Amino acid sequence: MQTLREFTRKTKRGNILKIVREHYLRDDIGCGSELCRECFQNEVYQLTSQHANQSTLFKFPHYLVLDTNVVLDQIDVLEEDVLRNVVVLTTVLNEVKHRSSSIYKRFNEIVHDRTRNFYVFVNEHHKETYADREPDETANDRNDRAIRLATKWYDDHLQASQSSKEFERSGKAAMRVVLLTDDAANRAKAEAEGILVTTAAEYVKSLEDFPLLMDKLSHKTFDNEKNGLPQYPPHLSMKELLEGLRQNKLLQGPFQASRENYLEGSVSVEKFEKAILIQGRESLNRAVDGDLVAVELLPESEWSAPSEIVLEEKNVYADEVPSEEKAKDEYDMLKQVRAAASSAERTPTGRIVGIVRRKWRQYCGILQPSLIEDTNRHIFVPADRKIPRIRIETRQAAKLQNQRIIVTIDTWPRNSRYPHGHFVRSLGPLGDTATENEVILLEHDVPHCKFSDEVLSFLPKMPWTITDQDYSKRVDLRDLFICSVDPPGCTDIDDALHCRELPNGNLEVGVHIADVSHFIRPGNALDMEAAARGTTVYLVGKRIDMVPELLSSNLCSLVGGVERFAFSCVWEVDNEANVLSKRFHKSVIKSKRAMTYEEAQSIIDDATQQNEIAKSLRHLNRLAKILKKRRMDNGALVLASPEIRFQVDSETHEPLEVEVKQMRETNSMVEEFMLLANITVAEHIATEFSECAVLRRHPRPPPTNFDPLVKSARYQGFQVNIESGLELSHSLDKCVKADNPYFNTMIRILTTRCMMQAVYFISGSLQKDEFFHYGLAAPIYTHFTSPIRRYSDIMVHRLLAASIGADSTYAQLLDRKSNEELCHNLNYRHKMAQYAGRASVALNTHLFFRGKEEDEEGYVLFVRKNALQVLIPKYGLEGTLYLKTDKDGKDGLERVKSEIVFTFNEEDHTQRCGDVVFHSFDPVTVRLSLDSSNVQHEKLIFRLVKPYIKGFSVETTSKGTEGQAVAAAPPSKKSKKDKKKK
């Protein structure tokens, strides 16, 4: 049967276009119930009479039909293995797909779980359930009517199927169909039409066997707030926002909350170089970190400056209601913030008037203990200080105390101080290593779930072998003395090298990279998963792979003595490392040996070893030194960062030893040839694909970024020239002090802090002079050498393969827009992976120092207004040693404890206490210990030992044991009211 769907559309020129589409209806689409004898049934996905939903509202067997809003709002409930025998209408499925791709993906996984008995009914093509849109009927009303029509048909159809005398004699209760909807209007119409209907919350509460499922219900409001006074201004409607943005009355940008001051945040917009400052609860107006917001700029007379006051919100409880006292308390805090900013340079300031797009996610944290017994309402405190506290209802608070839990936000009404959310799941005990690692991955948005069966289905079938056809399509390099050099314990070996002498006296150098693109074909589920993950993430003792382990540690890894596919970049060079020619080809290699940096260095240094591998390594090392010197002469920067390595217990996974990573010549040797390969490939693909080559750039930092470096070096008697990369490089080389061998490293660490983030981009999106990589002093650069752990390299491999005819091209490979979107995701994933790695190092550092106190020598890296930033070379650790300042004594509290006062000099960035003056790079001795008073945010505490300041430094007895320490911990973050309570 065929029907026509007609609708009109207005064109850009104002013409009215009538569109007619054919829509086919069928009468042979099965209902999916095992009780029905009339329909053709799909036995794989079927509604059964087993695993019946036991509800006190409907005390008879029933199937469920879900409305769209139930799927969107209650996905956490649906993911629990409780609800079975659910009819999923294609109307609902299409609406969910249109409104939220992430929830659609989660819901799809439930639907495809055969044990759950979710049946997709194609109601839009069934002649009895298709609903044509009526004149003046909105699309939403039409979809609601289609859902009711399908539910009514299902109920009637099943009752007809159960009307036989045989069924009556069985004595069984008839199966019915119940509609779950949270739309009040849709529910009222369903009741009028004789449909069994209820809300999701009422139905979940009726499941007496699963009382804890109520914790996962999405809450739009709490009873004690329904009649509460507004706490925030109303948001503008979307129509008003769009009109304001079009007329340039409003500005749009992502909101970034402050970690240190809960009454402050900022919004980055295109028209202003500096972010727009937002101060005060009303101006913040319910924005959550990451939201895309609309901002109204305040008059210049009302502009303020970011405060340096640390404000953390005091404890509140879930059953408290807003009061005038709290409002005044907060107003006083805001006055304090603005007063502190009055003397500083003012910056554009605004207020948030609406939310363009929410970016809420699941948040990790802990439950705040409640003062009220037997209450279900609680406050959730996120681990991320930038996220506001969240009101939730849970009946298992006692069980969840001292647990890391996950909560999601449902809504944030005007009359609620905090957003409303619901409990999702518990991660495990607070402080447990596995639990804290999970928190790190979730908080940094690192995809780390197991690879799905669909993804794994695209892996090669084992046992995998190289066929004669494979050999015929590749260059056979198995006889070459190829070897790999990597960190100890590395199993995902991306790259291998070789160097051999040619008859003409020149050298042939080859970089051989794992041919991952051979196994991951464009567009399949494996490729899309790798693109979404973007990069492999390395935590201490744990690796989250971008691709399944079969590829990362086996078939793609260039392990020693095994034949593997590679993508080879081969040069002919003279003895001065000048490239005479180059070629690229797909190859088959057989690495003769997989070595660590230390093993390779030992072979190079051992003159008695004269085998082919030793000769190759010595040639490579000599050429690498020439290449590095040439790069340095061109202005490449040698930067530094304090990096440490943990020795982890294989059973408990706790850190046993901490040591600074050692750099050998072999580290530099491998790095130089990887850089050469990346630059060579970048030049080639940019020539072949001028509009769509995937490249990497490192923008030149603005001069103001270098201010801390220039001032610190000037005090030490060194002039740092930042006019160009070459001038900066030469300046850094001259920053050497005979009495402090670590001084040059610290200067380079400071320089690293001044740098911008390197990013991926598409060649057609920028001018050629913008391709420059500042840190490497390279006019063009890309990533080619690590395709096992970076998706950008897979994209580059595909471009290179297409350019040499080794593989075919495809539409998306040359689509600039889609590649720009991929680069945007890769930049985000790369940044999050870096942050997650640093958080893992911090976690393991805390575990290492738990229950320990150590005195260590260090250096002052920065001098701040109320603290010294101290670097400990032994461990590569960096931490803050907090000082008492004049400001701390204004209320008289600190003066009672001590007369010690530190004075900050803004001109030369020094701190003075009596005769002791602290400058950047000064040596100090500090005592390291762990402060666990805040169970969610443990801190490594730095306390001064030397130089000795009486009443401030740690007092020690003659035996070296600790006596009295007075000024160690960071200043407490308390509200004004908390101070009054003292």
The residue with greater pLDDT, 684 or 487, is 684
For the chain, give the longest Cα–Cα distance: 103
The residue with greater pLDDT, 536 or 210, is 536
Q: What is the per-residue pLDDT across 198-252, written as a single tens digit (0 to 9) for each? A: 999 999 999 888 888 888 988 766 655 556 678 899 999 999 999 999 999 999 9
Domain with CATH 2.40.50.140 in the chain: 851-981
Q: What are the residues facing 406 on neighbouring strands?
A: 364, 425
**Please, which residues have CB within 8 angstroms of residue 560's CB and are 6 or more apart in sequence?**
483, 484, 591, 592, 593, 594
How far, in Å, CA of 664 to CA of 650, rounded? 27
Return mean pLDDT, the chain: 84
Q: What is the per-residue pLDDT across 500-530, written as a single tens digit (0 to 9) for each? A: 999 999 999 999 999 999 999 999 999 999 9
The region of weakest confidence among 627-641, 670-684, 691-705 is: 627-641
* Cα atoms in the 13 Å half-sphere on the side-chain side of 501: 9
Is residue 304 a contact partner of residue 296, using CB atoms and an 8 Å limit? no
Whether residue 886 has pLDDT greater than 80: no
Q: What is the per-residue pLDDT across 862-885, written as a single tens digit (0 to 9) for each? A: 787 778 888 888 777 788 888 864
The residue with greater pLDDT, 657 or 572, is 572
Residue 597: pLDDT band with limits 50, 70, 90: very high
Q: What is the per-residue pLDDT across 647-689, written as a single tens digit (0 to 9) for each? A: 666 565 566 666 666 778 889 999 999 999 999 999 999 999 9
Domain with CATH 2.40.50.690 in the chain: 219-429
Classify 851-981 by CATH class.
mainly beta
pLDDT at 717 (0 to 100): 83
Q: What is the per-residue pLDDT across 262-311, written as a single tens digit (0 to 9) for each? A: 889 999 998 887 889 999 889 999 999 999 999 999 998 888 888 766 66
**Please, which residues have CB within 8 angstroms of residue 335's CB and are 6 or more apart in sequence?**
none
Looking at the chain, the number of H-run helices and the number of E-run strands are: 27, 38
pLDDT at 881 (0 to 100): 87
Structure tokens at 895: 């003066």
CA angle 610, 611, 617 (to 5 degrees): 85
Percent of the residues in the chain that have a pLDDT greater than 90, as a whole number: 45
pTM of the model: 0.81
pLDDT at 893 (0 to 100): 36
Whether residue 767 has pLDDT greater than 70: yes
How many whole angstroms from its chain centre is CA 902?
Answer: 39
How many whole angstroms from its chain centre is CA 11?
Answer: 41
Beta 923-931 vs 86-89: how paired, if at all?
A: unpaired
Give alpha helix (H) positions in 302-432: 324-341, 397-400
Which long-range CB contacts under 8 A does 453-457 form with residues at least 24 apart? 454/525, 455/525, 455/526, 455/529, 455/548, 456/548, 457/525
How far, in Å, CA of 499 to CA of 975, rounded? 66
Whether residue 826 has pLDDT greater than 80: yes
* Residue 880 parent element (H or E): strand 877-882
Whether residue 974 has pLDDT greater than 50: no
**Please, which residues have CB within 8 angstroms of residue 98's CB and are 6 or more apart in sequence?**
none
Is residue 482 a contact partner of residue 512, using CB atoms and an 8 Å limit? yes
How far, in Å, CA of 72 to CA of 100, rounded? 8
Superfamily of domain 25-210: 5'-nuclease (3.40.50.1010)
pLDDT at 222 (0 to 100): 60
Structure tokens at 369: 């203990």
**Please, which residues have CB within 8 angstroms of residue 84's CB and are 6 or more apart in sequence?**
51, 52, 53, 116, 117
Is residue 163 a contact partner of residue 38, using CB atoms and an 8 Å limit? no
Give alpha helix (H) positions in 645-724: 665-688, 707-715
Structure tokens at 27: 């009468």
* Most confident segment among 1-5, 644-648, 933-937: 933-937
Is residue 755 a contact partner of residue 638, using CB atoms and an 8 Å limit? no
Q: What is the per-residue pLDDT across 599-633, written as a single tens digit (0 to 9) for each? A: 999 999 998 888 999 999 999 999 999 999 999 88
pLDDT at 978 (0 to 100): 42
Cα-based torsion angle of the residue sequence 895, 901, 903, 909 in order, rounded to the nearest 10 degrees? -120
Query: What is 219-429's CATH number?
Result: 2.40.50.690
Is residue 215 a contact partner of residue 235, using CB atoms and an 8 Å limit? no
Domain with CATH 3.40.50.1010 in the chain: 25-210
Is residue 253 a contact partner of residue 269, using CB atoms and an 8 Å limit? yes
**Amino acid symbol at 573:** V
User: For residue 393, which of 433, 420, 359, 417 has the smallest C-alpha distance?
Assistant: 420
How far, in Å, CA of 848 to CA of 705, rounded? 34
Percent of the residues in the chain that have a pLDDT greater than 70, as a whole number: 87
